[in-house]
């Protein structure tokens, strides 16, 4: 066993400890990326090796926020892939309007940039009042950030071009207030948004959805976890519901591939055409998870 083998073993043990002690399950994340993030954590903590971090994890909660923050990918921007958002506006929303009322699940929302993008599109299309958006992420701290909707002014300004290319119909700057280098997103954008922690690796179905948006999340998972999550989405969607994945995330080879039809192959927008309705499926949700608690707190 060489040094690289040993580090791989240490990483496996570290992730097992994290799961069994704190319930965060990164065990089925794709290894190249999670390995790099564990090494970054090592740099941040100054630990001499990956296994030196295990006792810190086992004997307290102090390290946990840094661990979850470092291991999860929280890179997000507004209107990333403007072409995708234009399709959402011009093709998906007209279809969704055939439902009287819709629920949207934005899974893996990170710090929320895309949630606000989504809300802008729904508002401009006059459909926001008939929409409830559930925005979830495994990391409770970034869920709070998403809810706050405060971003650096420079980054938000840099999204203006994306917004326009995506077919934006208003002045982008009307959606935020600039204060001391920060952009505070307009509160009306989150009127119909429920932010809550939900872990795709361990939590289950929590409602019947018409649109699921989960872009650039599955690429961090190995095949088995990708399949689990796709099953979860399949079980959560109503018949005719839409699932949008990242442009490099494919249903090819997954167990649920036959349940879906491509609406737009390039941008991985799929419509559910077969498979059970959510109420027929008993998910592996045992009791009320954090999301249910979140829903109650929001008075729903």
Partner 1 sequence: MKALSGPGRFDAVVLGGSAGSLKVLLELLPRLPGDFPWPLLAVIHLHPRQEGRFVTLLDQRSLLSVKEAEDKETPAPGHVYFAPADYHLQMEPDQTLSLSAEERVRFSRPSIDVLFDSAAQACRSRLVGVLLSGAGNDGTEGLCRISEQGGLTVIQDPAQAEHPAMPQAALDALTALAALGVGGPDHVLSSGGIMELLVSLAEEACGQAGGRGAAPEGGRS
- Number of C-beta neighbours around residue 91 at 10 A: 15
Instruction: Specify the pairing of strand 193-197 against strand 131-137.
Output: parallel
Q: Residues 217, 157: contact at Cβ < 8 Å? A: no
Closest to partner 1 by CB, 8 vs 264, is 8
- 253, exposed or middle or buried, with CB in 10 Å at 0-12, 13-18, 19+? exposed
Instruction: Specify the pairing of strand 269-272 against strand 260-264.
Output: antiparallel
Residues in region 107-136 near partner 1 by CB under 8 A: none
Closest to partner 1 by CB, 69 vs 124, is 69
Closest CA to 110 of 80, 137, 135, 133: 137
Instruction: Tell me the sheet residues that pair with 196.
Output: 136
Q: Residues 120, 192: contact at Cβ < 8 Å? A: no
- Number of C-beta neighbours around residue 84 at 10 A: 22
Cβ 84 to partner 1, closest distance in Å?
13
Residues in region 15-44 near partner 1 by CB under 8 A: 30-33, 35-36
The yes or no reply on residue 8 touching partner 1 (CB under 8 A) is yes
Interface with partner 1 by CB under 8 A: which range of 46-54, 125-133, 165-173, 245-253?
A: 245-253
| CA atoms of 125 and 285, how far apart (whole Å) | 35
The yes or no reply on residue 264 touching partner 1 (CB under 8 A) is no
Cβ 214 to partner 1, closest distance in Å?
13
Residues in region 49-108 near partner 1 by CB under 8 A: 73, 75
The yes or no reply on residue 246 touching partner 1 (CB under 8 A) is yes
CA dihedral of residues 106, 112, 118, 119 (deg, nearest 10): 110
Q: How far apart are the first and last CA of the chain?
A: 54
Closest to partner 1 by CB, 35 vs 283, is 35
Cβ 85 to partner 1, closest distance in Å?
15
- Number of C-beta neighbours around residue 228 at 10 A: 17
x/- binding map, residues 203-242, to partner 1, per CB under 8 A? -------------x-xxx-xx--x----------------
Residues in region 155-194 near partner 1 by CB under 8 A: none
Backbone phi, psi, residue 134, to 5°: -105, 115
The yes or no reply on residue 295 touching partner 1 (CB under 8 A) is no
Closest to partner 1 by CB, 239 vs 248, is 248
Cβ 96 to partner 1, closest distance in Å?
26
Closest to partner 1 by CB, 72 vs 236, is 72
How many residues touch partner 1 under the rule CB under 8 A: the total is: 23
Cβ 141 to partner 1, closest distance in Å?
17
Q: Residues 172, 160: contact at Cβ < 8 Å? A: yes
Interface with partner 1 by CB under 8 A: which range of 3-11, 55-63, 89-97, 98-106?
A: 3-11
Q: Residues 222, 29: contact at Cβ < 8 Å? A: yes
| Site residues (vs partner 1, CB under 8 A) | 2, 4-5, 8, 30-33, 35-36, 73, 75, 216, 218-220, 222-223, 226, 246, 248-250
């Amino acid at each position: 066993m060489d040094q690289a083998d040993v580090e791989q073993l240490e990483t496996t043990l570290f992730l097992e400890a994290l799961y069994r002690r704190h319930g965060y399950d990164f065990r089925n994340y794709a290894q190249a990326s999670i390995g790099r993030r564990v090494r970054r954590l090592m740099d941040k903590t100054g630990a001499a090796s990956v296994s030196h971090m295990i006792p810190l994890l086992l004997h307290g909660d102090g390290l946990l926020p840094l661990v979850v923050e470092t291991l999860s990918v929280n890179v997000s921007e507004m209107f990333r892939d403007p072409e995708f958002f234009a399709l959402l506006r011009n093709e998906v929303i007209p279809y969704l309007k055939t439902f009287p009322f819709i629920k949207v699940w934005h899974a893996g929302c990170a710090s929320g940039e895309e949630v606000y993008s989504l809300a802008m599109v729904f508002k401009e299309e006059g459909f926001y009042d008939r929409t409830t958006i559930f925005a979830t992420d495994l990391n409770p701290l970034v869920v709070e950030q998403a809810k706050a909707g405060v971003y650096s002014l420079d980054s938000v300004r840099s999204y203006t071009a994306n917004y326009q290319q995506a077919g934006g119909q208003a002045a982008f700057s009307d959606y935020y207030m600039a204060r001391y280098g920060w952009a505070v997103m307009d509160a009306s954008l989150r009127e119909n948004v429920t932010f809550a922690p939900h872990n795709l690796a361990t939590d289950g179905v929590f409602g019947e959805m018409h649109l699921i948006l989960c872009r650039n999340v599955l690429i961090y998972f190995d095949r088995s976890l990708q399949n689990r999550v796709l099953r979860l989405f399949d079980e959560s969607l109503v018949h005719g519901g839409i699932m949008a994945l990242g442009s490099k995330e494919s249903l090819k080879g997954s167990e649920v591939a036959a349940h879906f039809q491509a609406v737009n192959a390039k941008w991985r927008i799929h419509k559910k055409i077969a498979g059970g309705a959510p109420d027929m499926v008993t998910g592996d949700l045992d009791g009320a998870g954090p999301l249910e608690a979140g829903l109650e707190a929001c008075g729903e």
